[in-house]
Each structure stands twice: as C-alpha cells, then as structure tokens.
Amino acid sequence: SQTIHQWPATLVQPVGSPLSLECTVEGTSNPNLYWYRQAAGRGLQLLFYSVGIGQISSEVPQNLSASRPQDRQFILSSKKLLLSDSGFYLCAWSASFGQGLGDTQYFGPGTRLTVL
Amino acid sequence: QKEVEQDPGPLSVPEGAIVSLNCTYSNSAFQYFMWYRQYSRKGPELLMYTYSSGNKEDGRFTAQVDKSSKYISLFIRDSQPSDSATYLCAMSGATDSWGKLQFGAGTQVVVTP
C-alpha cells in the first residue's frame, strides 16, 4: 500500500530564516505530487505541483519554491521566511494520468509552521 | 464567484442524528467528486469517491452527485462524536496530465454526546 510522509511535523522559525520541508511517498511510482497551504480556518491553497522529476509548476507567486530531486521526493523551500508564511503545509500525491484512479489525492500528515 | 461553494458551518448535531453536507459548483466539466474528512491538526483523509452522477454508499456514509443541479451531498447516518471534524468536498474535470482538484472551504461538524 502507499504511504506518504512529511517532516518535520511542527516547526517554529524566525522571520528571515530559510525553510526546507520534505515529503516522500512509498509504494507507488511516478506519482503526481502537490504542496498545499492551509491557513487557520481556511481552505486548501495549492502552491506547487509536479508530474515528474525536475518538473515543477507554481500556482501562486510568492517567496516559496519547490523541487523534486527524486521520483517520490518533493521539497518545499524558502530562502527568507515571512510572517505570512505561517500555516499548515500539506503534501499530497495522486496517480499519474492513465492509471484509472481519477484525480483522487492522498494527503500526508502535514507540517505546522509558525513564523515569529 | 468560487468554482466550488461549501457552507463553513459549524454544523452541530446530537449523537445519532443524520449529518447532511453539501457543495455546489459552477463548472459543468467536473466528473470526479470526492469527500475528505480532516480532524484538527491532521491531513485530510479520503472518505468517498464518486464518478459522474448517482449515489454511493459505504457503511454509514452516502455520497450523492446531481450533475444536472451541480450539487453534491454527503450524508452520515447514526453520527458519532468521532465524526466531529471538518469535511471538504473536492472535484475535478476530465483527467488531464496532473489532476488538479477544486476544493470547497470545508464544513466543520460537531457531534455532541
């Protein structure tokens, strides 16, 4: 079965510091990968998605970036955090096109980021 | 206007009652419909997945899709306090190369003992 991991679970960082959040998926190959942010009491905001190694698309312009160095690894980064970057960051995966599973996405446990 | 509208609640019901949740949408191309449950400080977990119109039942959960009205519903029978969570609807059109989902804002449900 497939599993998705995120770490760290919780992070408190000062404004202006760098950020690196990691997500890995097990039990599937060539997944589509997604980064979302969920502000308190708000819906899910898609930040980045990737359909393959090195292929990243950005949905929202901001000071965050994403990379996919390996098939099942997705990293969210920032060089300098802003207060507005605080939130709950979720990684998700879905089967790649043609595997007959529609567009169902499966989420990781999330990382709660507080920028002070 | 948002593509997917969902009442944020909170929706408070007594234990054992039926919980009724719904979403409306504007894009007639949507074909895949999902419901996710999200407990506080956790990632969303998939509850129900339906393709096109009709009903789907899984234990205490029933999902309905009415494409003619652009309206989907989730019913939870015999609700339990453990059903207290935020429920998000999600949907997408014909599968493209990366499967972007449109999410509702989520409805907070509180089941009181």
pLDDT score of A108 more than 70: yes
Partner residue facing A110 (CB), from B32, B42, B105: B42
Average pLDDT over all residues of chain A? 90
pLDDT score of B97 more than 50: no
Q: How confident is the model at residue B100 (pLDDT cuts 50, 70, 90)?
A: confident
- pLDDT given at position B55: 92
How distant is the Cα of A79 from the closest Cα of chain B, in angstroms? 25
pLDDT > 70 in chain B, percent = 94
Overall average pLDDT of the B21-33 stretch = 91
Partner residue facing A109 (CB), from B31, B42, B97: B42
Per-residue pLDDT of B61-91, as tens digits, reads: 999 999 999 999 999 999 999 999 999 999 9
Higher-pLDDT residue of A48 and A40 is A48
Q: Which of A44, A91, A106 to mutate to test the interface with B (most CBs of B within 10 A)?
A: A44
- pLDDT given at position B99: 65
Partner residue facing A112 (CB), from B41, B100, B104: B41
- pLDDT given at position A16: 97
Q: Do A102 and B99 touch (CB under 8 A)?
A: yes
How distant is the Cα of B83 from the closest Cα of chain A, in angstroms? 18
Average pLDDT over all residues of chain B? 91
pLDDT score of A72 more than 50: yes
Q: Beta strand A73-78 with B71-76: parallel, antiparallel or unpaired?
A: unpaired
Q: Which residues contact B69 (CB under 8 A, 6 or more apart)?
A: none
Q: How confident is the model at residue A97 (pLDDT cuts 50, 70, 90)?
A: low
pLDDT > 90 in chain B, percent = 73
CA atoms lying within 13 Å on the CB side of residue B71: 7
Q: Do B88 and A105 touch (CB under 8 A)?
A: no
pLDDT score of A101 more than 70: no
Tokens 């979403």 locate to: B23
Residue of A10, A6, A12 whose CA lies nearest to A75: A6
Q: Which residues of A touch B34 (CB under 8 A)?
A: 104
- pLDDT given at position B58: 95
pLDDT > 90 in chain A, percent = 72
pLDDT > 70 in chain A, percent = 92
Q: What's the CA gap between A82 and A115, in Å, rounded? A: 7
Q: Which residues of A touch B88 (CB under 8 A)?
A: 43-44
